[in-house]
Each structure stands twice: as structure tokens, then as C-alpha cells.
Amino acid sequence: MTQPVLNVLAVVGSLNRNSSTRSVINHVVGQLKAEGCAVDVLDLLGEPLPLFNPDSAHEAEGFSALKSRVERAAVYILGTPDYHGSISSALKNFLDHFWEEFAGKLFATIVASHEKGLTVTDQLRTVARQCYAWSLPYGVAFADQIDVQEGRVVSDSLDERLKMLVHDVRVYGQLLAGQRRADLAGTAPGFLAKHRK
């Protein structure tokens, strides 16, 4: 049986005009499209989100269109710079706008860091867990100037890690999306039971 196309939302969590995070996300997006995925890119520089306010976020202009894009995706590729060992405020602000939409979906993380980005990756894994999302069992981190120069991935080791991520996003993204659909349509008492409409 042919599987539905895998919908991926890639988020650029750096507002830097010359962001290396953006370069790496674009590199991955090209590969995922070549593998047949439907990829939507949310670049928070070009599509800024107001600071999350629980009282008014749902009324903000463009919010319902963004919600539909988030709901459509089965996989989120989250790119962020390492700021003080943390995720960027732009990415955190995006994540704060949603939670139920993430349940049962897959997070794949990419961190621009000179220090391997481990604390940043862990923070994204924590967000995934809090929202009942899955995350790949690793994150990809890279150092700007070393792994990425003039908007291009220049190191073989980063290129290899990104190929691995693209493969795993496709394979595990499809598996999890298929199981999520089945669980939402079924009657079993799994964690997705409470997300049935």
C-alpha cells in the first residue's frame, strides 16, 4: 500500500540575517524534498510571531493559518542557535504557541553551537516530552565558520550527520505518522486516545 506523503515543517529559529541555522535548514529541506517529502518552512525572521500571550494568541493575525500548518505537519525540524546554552527566544516563542498539535509527532533538532549544543538539544527533548511528542534519539549540532561557510555546508562530518537525520526523519516520521493515524482512528487506550476528535 502506498503511504501518504510525509508532511514536514522546518522552523528557522534564528533572526540573524546571515544565519548559519537557516543555511543548514535549507540544506536539509532540499534533501527532504528530493526524497519526496512535502516540506513547509517557517522562517521566523520573515514570519515573525508576536510574543506568546495566552489571553490573545488565538486572536492574532495569521494565527489560524499558522495553526493549520502546524497541524498538517507530522515532523518538525527545529533549528536554533545556542544562546547561553539555551534555545533562542524566537524558537521558544513559536513552541509556546502550540502543544496538542505536537502530540504523537516527531521532533528533529539542529543546533548552531560552538559547544556541541547538548544543553540546547536536551531542552528541545524536554519540550517534546512535555507535549507528548517523540524526538529522534540524537540531535545534530554544528559550528558556524567551521562546518558552514558563506551559506554552505562545508564539512563532510556535518554533511554525513545531516544525511542521517534526513533518512531518520523520513523513515521514523512515516512510521510514527502511520501509527498516530491508526491510534486516533482506533479505540485502544494509548496516549493518543485523549486527542481523538
What is the binding site for ligand FMN (CB under 6 A)? Answer: 14, 16, 19-21, 81-85, 112-115, 144
Q: Which is nearer to ligand FMN, 81 or 173 (CB)?
A: 81
Q: How far is the CB of 184 from ligand FMN (least distance, A)?
A: 35
Q: How far is the CB of 2 from ligand FMN (least distance, A)?
A: 37
Q: Which is nearer to ligand FMN, 50 or 85 (CB)?
A: 85
Sequence-distant (6+) residues with CB within 8 A of 80 are: 13, 14, 21, 87, 88, 90, 91, 109, 110, 111, 112, 120, 124
Q: How far is the CB of 127 from ligand FMN (least distance, A)?
A: 18
Closest Cα partner for 124 from 115, 105, 111, 113? 111
Strand, helix or coil for residue 9: strand
The set of cell numbers assigned to 142 is: 554544528
DSSP assignment of 162-186 equals HHHHHHHHHHHHHHHHHHHHHHHHS
Q: Which is nearer to ligand FMN, 16 or 93 (CB)?
A: 16
Partners of residue 78 on adjacent β-strands: 11, 109
Q: Which is nearer to ligand FMN, 4 or 48 (CB)?
A: 48
Q: How far is the CB of 119 from ligand FMN (least distance, A)?
A: 8
